[in-house]
Amino acid sequence: MSSSKVSPENREYYELFDRCNRSELYQIARKANLRVQPEYSKDALIRAIISEDECPEKNPSVDEWRRAIMRFLIDHRKVLETQISCPARSFEEDACFACIDMQVMHCVTSNGTENFKLIELKKNRNP
């Protein structure tokens, strides 16, 4: 997309961010606490950063699992700290929002039956 399709008041910002690559844009968006996904296009990232477009909503049921995983990890931080190599290693409540839905479901299903049950309990708990 070209900056010509962006509102006039945001065109200069679009052109500024257009100089960045996708990885840089993703990092900028995450630092701004935008719920963007790594697979977003460069244009989508720019438009989210300059508030030209809303970030697409994620599947709410997967979002529940994201929150549950982080509750589980935060509750078991001392044991798991050295074992985590994904964005959840920050132990921030919204860390799993940096992962695509497929990765979240892989985390839920690949960590053994006992951990699955514990994560599921966290999912059913109100925040």
- For 89-110, the pLDDT digits (tens) are 999 988 888 888 888 888 877 7
- Domain span including residue 77: 60-124
67 shares its domain with 117: yes
44 shares its domain with 78: no
120 shares its domain with 64: yes
CB neighbourhood size of 119 (10 A): 20
* CA distance to 14, 42, 48, 51, 101, per residue, from 9 (Å): 10, 20, 15, 11, 34
33 versus 79: the higher-pLDDT residue is: 79
Give tens-digit pLDDT for 37-79.
878 888 888 888 887 665 555 455 788 888 888 988 999 899 9
115 shares its domain with 87: yes
Rounded to 5°, angle at Cα 113 from 121 and 102: 80
Asked if the model's pLDDT at residue 1 lies above 50, the reply is no
Which pLDDT value is given to residue 4?
54
> What's the structural domain count of the chain?
2
- Is the residue at 55 inside a domain? no
Length of the chain equals 127
Is this structure's pTM higher than 0.85?
A: no
